[in-house]
Amino acid sequence: MSPDVPITVPDLLAQYESRKALIRSRLAEFRLVRETADSLRLFEELVFCILAAGSSARMGIAGVEALRPCLLSGGAEEMAACLKHVRFHTARAGYILHTRSYLEDAFDFDLCNLIESFPDPQARRDFLASTKDIKGIGYKEASHFLRNVGYTGYGILDKHIVSILHRMGWLADASPPSGRSRYLLAESALKDFSDRIGLPMDEVDLLLWSAKTGEVLK
């Protein structure tokens, strides 16, 4: 879709009808992760989000595949070599290694119990986004991770979604929000928009992303 073509609610609803089955199937896959995943699987999703930040979902997927042989045991140099096709591969390898060591030392790498231990959705995301030893994860990628492992009610406010909301008049700022307060404000706008058009926010999030990219990935 050209960025110069205005997006209207009828446009989006028509796209929703054509992609509804795929969107709902993808969300069901995310729920299954929450129901069945062990801590390694959750860590893979966290690594995906570290790699996808400022890059792309496809790059994140390829990066996780490349890292699988050394994800739990590799050092920074080995990981960087596996990620040489990824933007800022040396820095991201360091982020992954530091985060892995922190989760091992502080939580015995029990991500399943860690993620389930928070009393409410905001506390869960705040922990991921603001803990300094979880590297490369801000509010967008913390939301992205939680959505991908089956939690609902989080908006993944990347440049594509923010661009559409801005063009439709639901956000004043066209740049992706940074910091907790701006992120929550933009997420509230996404929730209001979803309510207005009568669709669940989790489905609208994927709908807007696919409207810009042509794909329903993760």
140 is a catalytic site residue: yes
Which two structure tokens, joined as six digits, stand for 61? 């997927």
User: Read out DSSP for 185-216?
Assistant: HHHHHHHHHHHHHTS-HHHHHHHHHHHHHS--
Q: Which residues contact 166 (CB under 8 A, 6 or more apart)?
A: 172, 173, 174
Specify the residue for token string 């993620």.
115
Backbone φ and ψ for 117, nearest 5 degrees, come out as: -80, -10
Q: Which of 192, 154, 199 has its CA nearest to residue 211?
A: 199
DSSP H or E stretch at residue 35: helix 9-36
- Among 158, 202, 205, 218, the active-site one is 158
Selected catalytic residue, list 38, 84, 135, 140: 140
The answer to whether the CB of 157 falls within 8 A of the CB of 140 is yes
135 is catalytic: no
Please state, in angstroms and as integers, the Cα–Cα distance from residue 35 to each residue in 28, 82, 147, 217, following that order.
11, 30, 13, 20
- What residues are annotated to the active site? 140, 158
